[in-house]
Copies of this chain bind each other. A is one copy, B any other.
Amino acid sequence: MVDDALSAAIADLTPQLVAWRRDFHRYPEPGWCEFRTASLVAEELARLGFEVSVGESVLEAASRLGVPDEDTLDGALARARQQGAAEPWLAALAGGMTAVVGVLDSQRPGPTLAFRFDLDALPVVESSTNTHFPRRQGFASVNPAFMHACGHDGHTTIGLGLAHLLGRGALSFAGRIKLIFQPAEEGVRGAASIAAAGVVDDVDYFIAAHLGLGQPQGTLVCGADGFMATTKLDVRLTGQSAHAGGRPQEGRNALLAAAHATIGLHAIGPHGDGVSRLNVGRLTAGQGRNIIADTACLELETRGSSTAINDDMERRAREVIAGAAAMQNVEVDIIRVGAADNCGASPELVTRLADCLETTSLFEHIIRHDTAPIGSEDATSLMARTIAQGGQATYLILGTQLAAGHHHPCFDFDEATLPVAVESLARIVRELTCSS
């Protein structure tokens, strides 16, 4: 039986999956700085026979959002070199061009099937308690300010696992398979630039997947429809300082403008068409108590249960910020540092995948569509682009046991989910490319 062969291959692969995952976990890299991770992925894909593209050919530089400054990028590149990056790929990845796409062509007629995996870690300090599994097993982060606290180390591992099955011939398929390793999913900053580069324009089926997200071990969601459209904005206000005791009338108060903007932003009304959100999560302003503050920075996000609602929220947010700045006669600069659409899964594809996976014993519980709000995710931009050019797309949630919630210093998932995830994607490959 072909399935037994697949299962056996995956069983053989499992120690490697764990090794990959722990290596990525040990060396977390934040968005646009995934130099080590991306280079190792590219190296492995090439070794497995994939046609590998990195950097500018799969990433439109101008469409990247929230790219760190050059010093940060340079420092991250240097660190990646010290931590074992694959040197040949670094030149093309340098400067925050950290996308990798591997294509394997069966040379047989069939659809083009794309999977998206995300590479980046979070600015979270990993827990140092002994009960934390990565700590206990010695693979906790060695990059002090960063941590894989959302499972992207697992996602990258699953992608490599699938590549291994495909490249080593353990999984036969027709058509072409395109594995997309995306930078900067955190802050919804990376997918737009991959979409803009046309990477999914020839794709018939697009699939993204995430571990956890509130689903227990044994549960699969085939169509996660609850991601909210979102925009992330940084606001810089610049006024004029003055001595607060002696010459207050000469100041133009950026701190006061920021306070007015903050309250005005939170007072933007709800939306009759669905769920909307806005949060100013950080505010820093001023130099000293006796000086009228001449600078202020706000970090905020809008969300909407539809892209139209989020667009309304962003438009209103910009009005409020501009008005608050005008109240204090201060200059304002609004920078879009992240954005994602809302995009529902393609119903036919969801049905097909659910029907297929229900014939296996991989999951105890399969949910077809789940519309409960679950934050934001920029794979939606790739889904929307796929659907816009006639393809189908969906987003899977692979339930797993979590030690703590996403983004928490104690976050950890059950590594036993890794082979299940690889097998699920393998069966989807077979279903979508061989079953006609």
Say yes or no for A267: interface residue by CB 8 A criterion.
Answer: yes
Which residue of chain B has the shortest Cβ distance to A124 in the bound complex? B288
List 17 A-B residue pairs with CB atoms under 8 Å apart, sorted by A's residue number.
A230-B245, A244-B277, A245-B301, A246-B373, A248-B270, A248-B277, A251-B269, A256-B280, A259-B260, A259-B263, A263-B263, A272-B373, A280-B286, A280-B289, A281-B287, A281-B288, A319-B327
In the complex with contacts A248-B272, A285-B282, A323-B328, A260-B258 CB distance below 8 A: no
Which residue of chain B has the shortest Cβ distance to A321 in the bound complex? B327
Of B232, B267, B283, B301, which contacts A267 at CB under 8 A?
Answer: B267
A358 to chain B, nearest CB (A): 29
Of B232, B269, B281, which contacts A249 at CB under 8 A?
Answer: B269
State the number of copies, please.
4
Find out whether the CB atom of A256 lies under 8 angstroms from the CB atom of B262.
Answer: yes
Which residue of chain B has the shortest Cβ distance to A327 in the bound complex? B323
A54 to chain B, nearest CB (A): 29
Expressed in whole angstroms, the Cα–Cα distance for A326 and B325 within the complex equals 10
Expressed in whole angstroms, the Cα–Cα distance for A291 and B282 within the complex equals 9
- Which residues in window 358-405 of A have CB below 8 A to B? 373-376
Find out whether the CB atom of A256 lies under 8 angstroms from the CB atom of B249.
Answer: no
Say yes or no for A83: interface residue by CB 8 A criterion.
Answer: no
Please, which residues of chain B bring their CB within 8 A of the CB of A283?
255, 258-259, 283-286, 293, 296
- Which residues in window 260-276 of A have CB below 8 A to B? 260, 262-264, 266-267, 269-273, 275-276
Say yes or no for A342: interface residue by CB 8 A criterion.
Answer: no
Residue interface mask A313-327, B partner, CB < 8 A = 1: 000000110111111
